[in-house]
Amino acid sequence: MPQTFNVGSRSLFVSVTAWVFIVCGAVASALALIQGASTASLLPGFALGFDVRPLQGLSGLLAAHVPWVAGAAFALSVATLATAIGLLLRLEWARRAFIVVVVLAIAANLAGLWLQQELLQGLIDHTLSRAALPREAAGVFGGFATAARAAALTLSVATCVLLAWVIGRLNTPAVRQEFA
pLDDT 10s per residue in the chain (180 long)? 566 555 556 889 999 999 999 999 999 999 988 887 777 676 554 444 444 455 566 666 666 667 777 788 899 999 999 999 999 999 999 999 999 999 999 998 888 888 777 777 777 777 777 767 677 776 777 777 788 888 888 999 999 999 999 999 999 998 888 887
Q: What pTM does this model have?
A: 0.76
Q: Domain coordinates of the chain in residue numbers? A: 12-179
Cα 32 → chain centroid: 11
Q: Which amino acid is at 78?
A: V
